[in-house]
Amino acid sequence: MTELGADQSEAWTHGALEDHLSERSRELMRQLYQDRLDSQTLREQHRTDIVGVDQVARTRVERGHQRALTTVFGEVTLTRKAYRAPKTVNLYPADDVLNLPGGKHSDGLAKLAVIESVRGSFDTAIEAITRGTGVVLGKPQILALTARAAVDVPAFYAARRPGRSPDTDVLVMTNDGKGIRMRPDGLREITRKAAATTTNKLATRLSPGEKSGRKRMAELGAVYDITPVPRVATDIIAPPTTTTATSTPQPDNRRRRARGKWLTGSITDDPDCHRDHL
């Protein structure tokens, strides 16, 4: 409020005011987050029942152990008690209370990284996150966050198995592949050998039937249930009409949504192995 009431703010354009408030609001949220963590530090109770998975009791307590956490608002620091014992790792009950992640980045930031990564390249994901939150992530960090989120995919499908569909539904199985340019050490053995012994006729482009020997197939498959909807020609191509003709209401033949969809994809499995998964 002091900054908004200063004389220099009178010369701000609406765009400058918008940018200033956007930046300061993120700092306000970060400070509120930090204050909440500081409050929890003051209220943390001493415990005498801390035992690790190694069945060793942690009887020594040290205050002031800090841990950084990068959130969608910026970086904050949690100060908490460490419960210790000789020749064992420290335990931090406060971390469990907050359900802190194993890494430095919060769940909210990890979720945002995954959402932006699947939309395009990792570079554009980094730009989108920085633009929306002010947090700057490196490519190794966003790669790690995305890979960590993918480990739950099998458990996700196992916990959401669809029930039996009506006999009128059809089971759809689809499979497709896309060639991705790879480094030589990332190619399959047969492709790498072919690339090493092949000479292209032209230097600037491939001739008909030639292959670059630089790509590897990424396989994607899907299985789902769907209710078939018969269509006629007029559902696809509208008949010609005149300006005076009265349009005839058409039945609701909108495309039905897939149900119980299961997806699988890999760039490491062979195509035959991938089809076996389906």
SS3 115: helix
Instruction: For residue 32, report the phi and psi dihedrals to the nearest 5 degrees.
Output: -65, -40
Phi and psi angles of residue 109, each rounded to the nearest 5 degrees, phi first: -70, -35
3-state secondary structure 127-186: HHHHHHHCCCCCHHHHHHHHHHHHCCHHHHHHCCCCCCCCCCCEEEEEEEEEEEECCHHH
* Confidence at 3, pLDDT banded by 50, 70, 90: low
Round to whole Å and give the CA distance between 202 and 208.
11
pLDDT tier at 229, thresholds 50, 70, 90? confident
How many whole angstroms separate alpha carbon 57 and alpha carbon 139? 40
Token pair in block for residue 205: 């482009």
Mean pLDDT of the region 210-238: 80
Residue range 58-95, pLDDT digits in tens: 999 999 999 999 999 999 999 999 999 999 999 999 99
Model pTM greater than 0.75?
no
